[in-house]
Amino acid sequence: MAIDITSAATLTRRRAQEESAIIRWGLIGLATVVLGVLVLIPLVNVFYEAFARGPRVYWDALFNDPDTLSAILLTLRVAPAAVVLNLIFGVMAAWAIARFRFPGRTLLTAMIDLPFAVSPVVAGLIFVLIFGLQGYFGPWLRAHDIKIIFATPGLILATSFVTFPFVARELIPLMEAIGPEEETAAVSLGARAWHLLRRVTLPNIKWGLLYGVILCNARAMGEFGAVYVVSGHIAGRTDTMPLRVEKLFQEYNTAGSFALASLLSSLALVTLIVKTALEWKTRTELRSRLRESLLDDSTDAEAIVRTPHQRTTRSSGHYGANQPRPDRREEKPGLGISVKNVTKRFGSFVALNDVSIEVPHGELLALLGPSGSGKTTLLRIIAGLDVPDSGSILYQDEDATHRSARDRNVGFVFQHYALFRHMSVFENVAFGLRVRKWKEPRIRERVHELLSLVQLEGLAQQAPSQLSGGQRQRVALARALAAEPKVLLLDEPFGALDAKVRKELRSWLRKLHDEIHITSVFVTHDQEEAFEVSDRVVVMNHGRIEQQGAPEEVFEHPANAFVMDFLGNVNVFHGRVEGGRALLGSFEMAYPDYPHDESRPVRAYVRPHELEIDRIPRGRSSLKADVLRINAASAAVKVELFAKEFGVPLNVELTQERYSKLQLKTGDAVFVFPKRVRVFVEDYQI
């Protein structure tokens, strides 16, 4: 049975609606009777019958009957062989099915369930039909004196058939629940297949794997129907334990059959105990993970504020002995990364449409855009975690399009950290160095260097689950930087953190970049974050670049209505342009960009601080409005007005000075006029 993950969260929830005590205890009693009669009494009966004649008879029945003894030994040979075969199969099948998408995947998954539906007798028969004397290979096998049916190989085949789903069925849902993030992170840190399996995947799935193996073993030892058909029932040679139970039963040897049955029942009990223990373990782990995610992130904001980075006062470009430094070769000016005409489709969805970007060496670039704009896809393509349909990626003018993530030497910081949960902070940071076979003393030196850089020196031996969100993000950053990557890529690095920690980490990242000057690209949907942190911003929408430039440039001169809209916090007016003038209700202004006579719809954008309020009208571009709400509890006074002419609310920001001069009150009728208007002819649809 699959370990039930969903029930962990609801385990302690009490129901408000409950039956009366009589019904409740009645139902409990009834259920106890059902389970007692069906399960418990039979179980007790096995052991009672086995020991009823005393321990001496029990011992003789098991170990002084040569046929029984040989059955036990045969089972101990057959079951482990089948388990090993199915263990390898289970891991392989789970890796293919849980980690990749391919045609026929559903069919393959259904095929793994086949033995659950096929009668074991049929399973035995199909092997007899192939390898038996009258089977397809029978004569050939006989000629070469190879015995499969009525011999151990046949028993192993039949047992393997019946038990092959067990390991795979445990692992597939488990691996799907864990997700591929940690493995993707390991690949981006340079891990090869063997490292990945041994150091990341296996430690994560070990309990599920153990349970799958134990269940597989229990079924392999207990298999009856399939083995019955292929064994030929040769006492002392091809009888396994369950077959021997049947033979003793037919011979009315109650003591013998029950003694052997008690041995098999003990095996079942051990299986159940291990299952219960593993489930309990999984649940506690899940619970602690739930608790972690509820941890208040604000606790570590303080730590960062208190310890501003001491080295930030040094001139940038000068590196202390303990600091990571970029490769000297890279210090020549030039391009860090260039993306040339990249297009990427997912089915019919165009994620990137002929995108080109150049990132100068040492620059910190922000990819800004709404979700679905293609920014994360672009970042993954730069990292080598995705492959473009066309176009190329250059690292320092070398074509890297077909280099794997491992060979590109990039540092990638994942949105949800993707820390290896079974490794300490130290081991997480050391991972990229170990897979590159660094020497132990160098690893230790480098990891401590990085932990001091991200201000987490004291936490080297902690598990990731003991850290707060902000601390985890810094570990992820240290891990990405450890192997001295040429570029650093960050996917929504602060997306999973709360507002306060996000702000602190932002300015901290900026300072860090000023120090280590590594070519960096980070993805965000938060314009404030992009403007505050980056040297240059690329605004994306629908797989295309809308605008790129320095933060001030993009903010002051948005290239089009989309960028203006996306940057947000702006008043929108709808109007028309014709003959070089823009007409927005009672506003009217020159618009030389459109000298044509044909009238076209436009949108005009005015930011709140670009609107002025007065009590008297000023010329032709004043708008009548009523004051709805005033919020004076910040540096800029926020006034919300309603303009009847446009039927829309307006937001205006005034200085405290201007506000006290006007003596505004809610309900006042005033005039609003713009200091600056940006007009875009409507050529795009949201």
Partner 1 sequence: MIDVNRRVLPGFRLSLGYTLLYLTLLVLIPLTACFLKAAALPLHEFVAAVWTPRARAAYALTFGASFAAAFANIFLGVLVAWVLVRYEFPFKRLFDTLVDLPIALPTAVAGLVYSSLYVKAGWLGRFLVPIGIQGSYSRLAIVLVLTFIGLPFVVRAVQPVLDNLDAEIEEAAACLGATRGQTFTRVIAPSLLPAIVTGFALAFARGLGEYGSVVFVSGNMPLKTEIAPVLIVAALEEFRYREAAAIAVVLLVASLTMLVLINLLERWSKGNGN
Residue list 236-295, contact with partner 1 (CB under 8 A): 241-243, 245-246, 249, 254, 257-258, 261, 264-265, 267-269, 271-273, 275-276
Q: Which of 58, 62, 68, 164 binds partner 1 (CB under 8 A)?
A: 164
- Which residues lie closer than 8 Å to 423 by C-beta, 6 or more apart? 203, 431, 463, 464
Please report how close the Cβ of residue 353 comes to partner 1 at its closest, in angstroms. Answer: 17
Q: Tell me which residues in 346-365 interact with partner 1 (CB under 8 A).
A: 346-347
Instruction: List Cβ neighbours of 580 (8 Å cut-off, separation of 6 or more).
Output: 590, 591, 592, 594, 595
SS3 499: helix
> CB under 8 A: which stretch of 160-168, 203-211, 366-374, 392-400 binds partner 1?
160-168
Q: Which is nearer to partner 1, 245 or 505 (CB)?
A: 245
**Which range, of 185-193, 434-442, 469-477, 620-628, touches partner 1 by CB under 8 A?**
185-193
Going by C-alpha positions, the residue among 239, 240, 230 that lies closest to residue 129 is: 230
Task: Kindly identify the residues of this chain, within the stretch 370-429, that bind partner 1 according to CB under 8 A.
Answer: 384-387, 404-405
C-alpha distance across the termini of the chain, in Å:
49
Q: How far apart are CA 131 and CA 125, in angstroms?
A: 10
Does residue 45 interact with partner 1 by CB under 8 A? yes
Q: Are 366 and 530 in contact (CB under 8 A)?
A: yes
Closer by beta carbon to partner 1, 169 or else 506: 169
Report the residue number, 88 or 669, with the smaller CB distance to partner 1. 88
CB 221 within 8 Å of CB 264: yes
Please tell me whether residue 18 binds partner 1 under the rule CB under 8 A: yes
Q: State how far the Cα of 534 lies from the Cα of 125, in Å rounded to an integer.
A: 70
Q: By CB under 8 A, is residue 229 in contact with partner 1? A: yes
Span near partner 1 by CB under 8 A; candidates 187-195, 497-505, 514-522, 526-534 = 187-195
Question: Which of the ranges 63-71, 132-140, 363-371, 423-431 carries the binding residues for partner 1, by CB under 8 A?
Answer: 132-140
Binding residue for partner 1, selected from 62, 128, 209, 533, defined by CB under 8 A: 128
641 forms part of the interface with partner 1 (CB under 8 A): no
Number of residues that bind partner 1 (CB under 8 A): 114
The sign of the torsion formed by the CA atoms of 323, 328, 333, 338 equals negative
For helices 152-163 and 202-222, the axis angle rounded to 10 degrees is 120
Task: Tell me the Ramachandran region of residue 201: left when phi exceeds 0, alpha when psi lies from -120 to 50, beta otherwise.
Answer: alpha
Q: Say which DSSP state 370 is in.
A: -
Residue 669 interacts with partner 1 (CB under 8 A): yes or no: no
Instruction: Closer to partner 1 by CB, 116 or 140: give it.
Output: 116
* Site track for partner 1 across 195-214, x = CB under 8 A: -xx-----------------
Does the footprint of partner 1 cover residue 51 (CB under 8 A)? no
Of 492, 478, 489, nearest in space to 518 by CA: 489
- Say whether residue 541 binds partner 1 (CB under 8 A): no
* By the rule CB under 8 A, 665 interacts with partner 1: no
114 lies in the site for partner 1, by CB under 8 A? yes
Considering the complex, what minimum distance in angstroms separates the CB of residue 625 from partner 1? 45
Q: Which residue in 356, 362, 357, 358 sits closest to 333, CA to CA?
A: 362
Token pair of 369 as six digits: 């855009």
